[in-house]
Amino acid sequence: MVKTSIQTVCLLGALMAAPGTAFAAPITFNTALPVSKGEFLARQQFIVTNLSDRLGGMKRDVTVRAGVSVLGYGVTPKLAVFGVAPLVNIDREIGTMNRNDTGLGDATVFARYEIYRKDRPGKTIRIAPFAGLTLPTGRTGKTGDGSTDGFAGLIFTAASTNWNFDSQIKYTVNRRAKGFARGDTISADASLQYRLSPNAITVSTHGFLYGVMEANLTQLQRDRLGGLINPDSGGTQAFLSPGLQYATRRWIAETALKIPVVNDLHGAALAPNYSLITSLRFNF
Amino acid sequence: MFKTLTLSLGLIMLAGSAMAGETGYTLQVDGMTCPFCVATSEKALKKIKGVKGATADLKTGVINVCTDGSVNFTDDQLKALFLEKGFTYRQMTKTKTCAAAAPSKVTDAAAG
């Protein structure tokens, strides 16, 4: 049961690592907008996630605090590569058991390649597939799940000076490590960023304030432990994430609250309560 | 009186010859949607030797560039420049002055 909690926590952390760009972009997942050739993108996310419930009178409470560092680089105008390194603190309180682990979580590397672009004055549409690996850089069973996992997906972005829309589908293949294999996941995400301020753009406008609403749907397959299916794992989760984003010429500050609206998890799987995400991004 | 008139004409001619060196370009660049797009485009143009200034209108995708006259932009050069930035260069218009490159006022009064 504790192991299930750990895996759920690690999965949530991985899902929320969203590299983005210095354009207005989703807070909880990726965008197809470009990283200019030869330019770097740095992003620092701070994420607090809480999962808790009461199972047969036993309180279960897990809080994850993560500092997720992201570095992206524009290799060509179409190809960008990213590295994501999370530093996590996991506080577990399961009945009378208390445990706290801090350290490097599982790092992620991936590449994104633009396959479609249609630009018009003040508007653009981009489509970009991506693929990558999550590496077992965390301590197995504590801050990581010990396996090298692969993922791939497709992002669609439509952007204008007034609003941006992004959507993503992603499939993650989770491999076995030390007899444990987390279930594969498939997720679908959508984000709308609407410019709230300023009403009028002038050449002296240096920043846009966006209102953000995101929806995230994830289908989790059941975990396997020693070849046996864990009945207390897998299911369907859906989240809504309202947020705010301030985008300037060189940096973006943003925050969102990820709230579960569907927690249809199997058996006694621990369900998330909320995630609070704050983030800063820089281009240089 | 004659001296004053001569001096005035001389100053006007001097100023005219100094300004004659300036050349303006109006570029149409598509796909810019945010303050960062403007910043990165302006920065790339200002790195070019001879470019004195650049201002972009986000809504229309028009970038006005002021040069000292030593720059001769080509379509291929600008296409490559904006491709690297992730945008699409369409066309340019060359003007004899930099007036168009001066900062303008509201460009998107109806937006929002």
Residue A180 corresponds to which tokens in the numbers above? 């444990």
Across B27-50, average pLDDT: 91
**A23 vs chain B: nearest CA distance in angstroms?**
6
**Is B1 in the A-facing interface, judged by CB distances under 8 Å?**
no
| ipTM above threshold 0.95 | no
From A123, A159, A162, residue closest to B111, measured CB to CB: A162
Strand, coil or helix: what is B78?
helix
Using the predicted structure, report yes or no on whether residue A10 has a pLDDT greater than 80.
no
Residue A272 corresponds to which amino acid? P
User: Cβ neighbours of residue A78 under 8 Å, at least 6 residues apart?
Assistant: A34, A113, A114, A115
Which of A178-182, B48-52, B53-57, B76-80 has the lowest average pLDDT? A178-182
Strand, coil or helix: what is A253?
strand
**A46 vs chain B: nearest CA distance in angstroms?**
23
Up-side HSE of residue A217: CA atoms within 13 Å toward CB? 5
Pairwise pLDDT comparison (B41 vs A7), residue with the higher score? B41
Reported CATH class of domain A2-283: mainly beta
Digit-coded pLDDT (tens) for A215-229: 999 999 999 888 899
**Could you tell me the maximum CA-CA distance found in chain A, to the nearest angstrom?**
62
Fold topology of B21-101: Alpha-Beta Plaits (3.30.70)
Q: A169: which strand partners?
A: A154, A188
- Angle (nearest 5°) at CA A37 between A34 and A41: 65
**In terms of Cα–Cα distance, which of B56, B55, B53, B50 is closest to B66?**
B53
The verdict on whether omega for the bond into residue A198 sits within 30 degrees of 0, i.e. cis, is: yes
**Which residues from chain B sit within 8 angstroms of residue A164, using beta carbons?**
33
Neighbours of A93 (CB within 10 A): 15
Q: A157: which strand partners?
A: A126, A166
CA distance linking residue A276 with residue A250, whole number of Å: 24
Stated as kind and residue range, the H or E segment containing B82 is helix B75-85
Contact B35 A249 (CB under 8 A): yes
Which of A20-34, A169-183, A213-227 has the lowest average pLDDT? A20-34
Across A117-128, average pLDDT: 96
**Which residues from chain B sit within 8 angstroms of residue A21, using beta carbons?**
36
pLDDT of residue A185: 95
Minimal Cα distance from B60: which residue of A?
Answer: A121
Across A4-25, average pLDDT: 52
Contact B34 A202 (CB under 8 A): no
| Whether A217 contacts A189, CB under 8 Å | yes
Residue A92 corresponds to which amino acid? R
Which of A172-181, A228-237, A257-266 has the lowest average pLDDT? A172-181
CA distance linking residue B20 with residue A237, whole number of Å: 67
pLDDT of residue A180: 83
pLDDT of residue A212: 97
Which of A75-79, A204-208, A230-234, A274-278 has the lowest average pLDDT? A204-208
**Is B105 in the A-facing interface, judged by CB distances under 8 Å?**
yes
pLDDT of residue B99: 65
Minimal Cα distance from A116: which residue of B?
Answer: B86
CA distance linking residue A208 with residue A262, whole number of Å: 32
Contact B37 A23 (CB under 8 A): yes
Structural domain boundaries in chain B: 21-101
What band does A165 get if pLDDT is binned at 50, 70 and 90? very high
CA distance linking residue A1 with residue A97, whole number of Å: 12
Digit-coded pLDDT (tens) for A140-154: 888 888 899 999 999
Contact A198 B31 (CB under 8 A): no
Chain A interface mutation, best of B27, B29, B34, highest count of A Cβ atoms under 10 Å:
B34
Up-side HSE of residue A102: CA atoms within 13 Å toward CB? 3
A-B CB pairs within 8 A amount to 114
CA distance linking residue B4 with residue A171, whole number of Å: 81
From B39, B107, B112, residue closest to A202, measured CB to CB: B107
CA distance linking residue A160 with residue A208, whole number of Å: 12
Bin A154: left if φ > 0, else alpha if -120 < ψ < 50, else beta: beta
